[in-house]
Amino acid sequence: MPSLSEETHGRMARLLPGATIGIIGGGQLGRMMALSARYMGFRIGVLDPTPDCPAAQVADFQVTAAYGDKSAIRELARRSDVLTYEFENVDADAIDEVRDITATPQGTDLLRVTQDRVHEKRFINEHGVRTAPWRQVDDCDALRSAIDNLGYPAVLKTRCGGYDGHGQVVLHDDSDRRRVEDRAEREGRLPPSILEGFVDFAFEASILVSGNGTDFVTFPIVRNIHRHNILHLTIAPARVSKEVERETHALARLLAKGFELSGTLGIELFITRDDRVIVNELAPRPHNSGHYTIEACSIDQFDAHIRGIAGWPLVQPRLLSPAVMVNVLGQHVAPTRALIGDHPEWNVHDYGKAEVKHNRKMGHITVLTDDTERTVGELEATGCWDDLRDSASRRLS
Ligand SMILES: Nc1ncnc2c1ncn2[C@@H]1O[C@H](COP(=O)(O)OP(=O)(O)O)[C@@H](O)[C@H]1O
Ligand SMILES: [Mg+2]
């Protein structure tokens, strides 16, 4: 059998087509990674508890087990030339334990930092990058002194495990604080948390950066509109000043370098009215707000992720066309499917999830356009996303 990897500068082995990539997590991000990897001729294994999960449908094999099952991770590692993951709540110790049997170019530092909001904020600030002001909050006394420091309003978030707004609450006044204290008393403790000053942002944005350990490339800055804490729309590119543009790309490279990043990292941002760029959080993987790159960029976030972990060189992505990406949640599946015939401009992505649930990410639609505002208006006018009360187009004007 020919060798499937070659030494590059005596450092990381460059993976060649035919090698197997093991992905921990078989949701939509794993699926889109696997699709990219397929074009390059890689084989794919997936670890996920759900048989026939989105990624397994396009993979060569599935190890069907819980994400935290160490023997299953070991089996995936044994059958793969390189291991990656599609979400941040992977057991970092389990990955460290298989480093002798497969390549883990992403390491586990990035995972450990992004799994804990305190470590994450500290890392970002230590690299000279701005976040919201924050305090570590371990108990109710610490909560009071953090509020004394930061004032109201403030956002209390659990350090670990939060997503789509779960595990966080905005505190406006002492009565909100008392509600948190009462709950902590009932439950016996306050979960390890972080308190952040509330950022009165003009809008939310994000940038993706990809690396192969030594070289880093950045994607365009995009604007994100959330509904009920779930990403609704991404508009590419975001309209930002030259200064915001320069600062954002620079901070993305700086953080990527700090992590010696392999693969793709999503960076969520707040942009203020006076053009300050504030990092909200990091996602050590491709990001929902980067799905537009599949059609709109010269290289997409999944290709860049696979190339990065395979030790391939990376080229700076170019935006080929402005684009709007809209998420299709469970409640949007039926209305959007009914309109497929009317919208040849819709690039329809469906993740192949068996069960349709309210607010579950089932797919997305990307539209390439010369006029993103008009396109947002047209998407909203279909009525498919009417459950999301205040319309994005109103918010945009
Ligand atoms: N410090 C803050 N100030 C203002 N809004 C915030 C702040 N932190 C979070 N938010 C809002 O809550 C959303 C979810 O918070 P985030 O930290 O990204 O958690 P999650 O892991 O749930 O995505 C953000 O996209 C933003 O709209
Ligand atoms: Mg977020």
Residue 3 confidence (pLDDT): 58
Q: For ligand 1, what atom is nearest to the CA of residue 200?
A: 4
Residue 257 token pair: 């370098």
What's the 143 CA to ligand 2 centre distance in angstroms? 22
Band (12; pLDDT cuts 50, 70, 90): low
Q: Determine the average pLDDT of the residues in 161-181.
A: 94
Instruction: Extract long-range pairs of 239-245: CB within 8 Å, 24+ residues apart.
Output: 240/205, 240/271, 240/275, 241/275, 243/275, 244/271, 244/275, 244/277, 245/221
pLDDT at residue 396 is higher than 70? no
Span of 180-189, 213-222, 246-255, 382-391 with lowest mean pLDDT: 382-391
Please tell me the number of the ligand nearest to residue 87's CA.
1
Q: What is the pLDDT of residues 261-272, one digit of tens each?
A: 999 999 999 999
Q: What is the pLDDT of residues 367-394, one digit of tens each?
A: 999 999 999 999 999 999 998 655 444 4
Which residue has the least CA distance to atom 20 on ligand 1? Answer: 163
Residue 1 confidence (pLDDT): 42
Q: Determine the average pLDDT of the residues in 46-51.
A: 98
Report how far residue 350's alpha carbon sits from residue 360's, in angstroms, rounded to the nearest whole number. Answer: 12
State in words which class domain 5-104 has.
alpha beta
Report how far residue 311's alpha carbon sits from residue 13's, in angstroms, rounded to the nearest whole number. Answer: 7
Range(s) of the chain covered by CATH 3.40.50.20: 5-104
Q: Which residues line ligand 1 (CB under 6 A)?
A: 132, 155, 162-165, 196, 198-199, 204, 226, 229, 268, 280-281
Band (13; pLDDT cuts 50, 70, 90): confident
Residue 4 confidence (pLDDT): 63
Q: Determine the average pLDDT of the residues in 198-218.
A: 98
Q: Determine the average pLDDT of the residues in 349-362.
A: 97
Q: What is the 3-state secondary structure of 268-296?
A: EEEECCCCCEEEEEEECCCCHHHCCHHHH
Cis peptide before 133 (omega within 30 of 0): no
Q: For ligand 1, what atom is nearest to the CA of residue 201?
A: 4
What's the 48 CA to ligand 2 centre distance in angstroms? 23
Residue 389 confidence (pLDDT): 56
pLDDT at residue 182 is higher than 60? yes
Residue 6 confidence (pLDDT): 60
Q: Determine the average pLDDT of the residues in 243-250.
A: 98
| SS3 state of residue 168 | strand
Name the average pLDDT for the chain: 95
Q: How far is CA 67 from CA 73, 102, 136, 220, in A?
A: 8, 18, 29, 32
Residue 7 confidence (pLDDT): 53
Which residue has the least CA distance to atom 1 on ligand 1? Answer: 198
**What is the residue type of 114?**
T
Residue 10 confidence (pLDDT): 42
Q: Determine the average pLDDT of the residues in 64-89.
A: 97
Q: Determine the average pLDDT of the residues in 281-307.
A: 98
Is the domain 133-197 a CATH 1.20.1440.130 member?
no
Range(s) of the chain covered by CATH 3.30.470.20: 203-396
pLDDT at residue 126 is higher than 70? yes
Q: Transcribe 218-287 into DSSP letters.
A: EPPPEEEEEETTEEEEEEES----HHHHHHHHHHHHHHHHHHT-EEEEEEEEEE-TT--EEEEEEESS--
3.30.470.20, 3.40.1790.10, 3.50.50.60, 3.40.605.10: which CATH number matches 203-396?
Answer: 3.30.470.20
Sheet holding 168-171, edge to edge: 134-137, 193-197, 154-158, 168-171
Contact call for residues 217 and 210 (beta carbons, < 8 A): yes
Range(s) of the chain covered by CATH 3.30.1490.20: 133-197
Report how far residue 32's alpha carbon sits from residue 35's, in angstroms, rounded to the nearest whole number. Answer: 5
